[in-house]
Amino acid sequence: MTLYKKLTHPKFLDPLHASRQYVPRDIVDKAMTKDNIEAQLGKKGRTCMKFRSSPAEKIVTRNAKNLLAVLVFCKKAGDVEDLLEHGFTDEDLPLISTKDDLPLPSTKDSFKSTDEASETMEHDFELRSAGDPKKKWRPPEEWDEQDVDCFLQMQWMFLAPVFDVSGTHRQILRDCPLPFSDFTEIMSHNTVVVYKAKVNSSHQQGFEKEAPNLHIALKEFKISKEFKKEQDNMEKIRGLQRYKHITQSLATFEQGDPKRYYIILPFAEGGDLTDFWRTKDIKSRTPALTLWSLKQMLGLADALQGLHKHIDIGANCRHGDLKPGNILHFITDGQPEGILKISDFGISRIHINETFQREGKPTTTRATTPSYEAPEASPILNLKQERSRRYDLWSMGCIYLEFVIWLVEDWEAVQSFTKARESDGNREMLFYQIDGTTAKVHQQVLDKMSCLRKHPQCSPGTALGELLDMIERSLLVVDVECRVDSTYLYNRLTKVVRQAEALPRYLVGEGQSMG
């Protein structure tokens, strides 16, 4: 098989730009062996005579595999040494024609004969390095315009980027193909589109930790301001690597004309928490499932603690939109049920100087999905007070309560609980209601917690019973000052989980089966 065939089988298409093909790095590396290179360059005696030392060694040691590959596609492989002697390597790609830098022809030039104009066009320009404009190469005399065009077009097939987790934002040239496959649009909303994709294994470094199967979520932004806001938040969150229950971004880049902006994230194969409740509803509510659920709630509390207190000195972060849809379910080899992680930091509020914005005004923007927002966000109350980090604790209390309902009853019960809050004229299905000029916990919420306490699994002295106490007395508390912070929640849940691990009966209640 010729080197050309080795480089073109199989073909890979950029799914975002169907007209662009790319050759993955691993295929180039596999094809560009010493034997294959020498076989290619030794086919013509003239080509072989040009080399005074091993061409294969030059190409490999001088990092010129892609240069040779482009020349192979253009049937000009023998000219690779001339490029090497001019100091060119793969780092100089893409090469740019200096003809594009020339001024428009003068009136005098327009009277030249066709042959003269063609000769000028072919020989009065060079190819220059994209990275070093001073580095130039004049193609051999036998190269015609078609050969140059072939090189300029084919080089892009070998320039698909390699993404890493360094946090460096990439500005990718417009004609570069993107190394993705298995591409599917999974969400589109206004100016943001989210795709599921798989990144080519040889075009990533470090993705395996967060995305073992290299499946990613590619979030595309049309508006730079929206992208920049989420990018800045994700960059701050990169400092929370030790918190396993926070979704970390993998990379960011921009490309195109008009510009599109992208964040690469691990793809959650299990969907979000709502998907988990719905799809896992047939599972038996065993002590093991209850313990796993409690550990996940503890992990989420730990993640919240990281967001609130450990981003950096002087910064104050709250998520601002905690809900089941923003808690993702990742399938992992180490845990049968996987792991839950907080995600979507597009509207997270990261402030300097406590919870105030630049002008010193309190944060009053209504951002949370209405069902899970805290009472202090109500436009009816019009409370002119700062939005503190304890705002997130109310939202977490709502999520925990629904989790308990699912564990003790089922998914249908969670849905019925939502509809019950709506039937009282509460179209937004809030966990609180307005009485005149004050807020109070919604009566349906109080009734549901009372009902749950009658279940043996939620009786006093059980793990879920203590969790319900925390939800009612510490989280779903209208008075912000009396609502606990994330550290308190984490410490309380830590004690519950430790006791559940030590005393299995603590998970089911007296008289209940351990099966």
* Residue 477 contacts residue 380 (beta carbons within 8 Å): no
Question: Are the C-beta atoms of residues 97 and 125 closer than 8 Å to each other?
Answer: yes
Average pLDDT over every residue of 246-267: 96
Token pair 């943001």: residue:
192
Which residues touch 513 (CB under 8 Å, ≥6 apart)? none
Helix (H) or strand (E) holding 48: helix 45-49
Fold of domain 271-349+368-508: Transferase(Phosphotransferase); domain 1 (1.10.510)
Region of 113 (left: φ > 0; alpha: ψ -120 to 50; beta: rest) is beta
Indicate the pairing of strand 315-318 with strand 327-330.
unpaired
Give me the torsion for CA of 366, 372, 374, 379, rounded to 10°.
40
pLDDT tens track for 413-460:
999 999 999 876 667 899 999 888 889 999 999 999 999 999 999 999
Check: CB of residue 463 under 8 Å from CB of residue 290: yes
* Domain residue extents for the chain: 3-44+52-98+125-158, 163-266, 271-349+368-508
pLDDT of residue 113: 45
Q: What share of the chain is helix, strand, coil (3-state, %, to 5)?
A: 45, 15, 40
| pLDDT tens profile 55-109 | 788 898 789 999 999 999 999 999 999 999 999 999 999 999 987 664 444 434 4
DSSP 8-state symbol, 430:
-
- Name the average pLDDT for the chain: 87
Cβ 23 vs Cβ 202: under 8 Å:
no
Note the CATH architecture for domain 163-266: 2-Layer Sandwich (3.30)
Paired tokens of 304: 């919240």
- Which tens digits make up the pLDDT trace of 195-222? 999 999 999 999 999 999 999 999 999 9
Task: Give pLDDT, residue 185.
Answer: 96
- Are 163-266 and 271-349+368-508 the same fold in CATH? no
Q: Exposed e or buried b for every residue in 64-94, given b needs 16+ CB within 10 A?
A: bbbbbbbbbbbebbbbbbebbeeebbbebbb
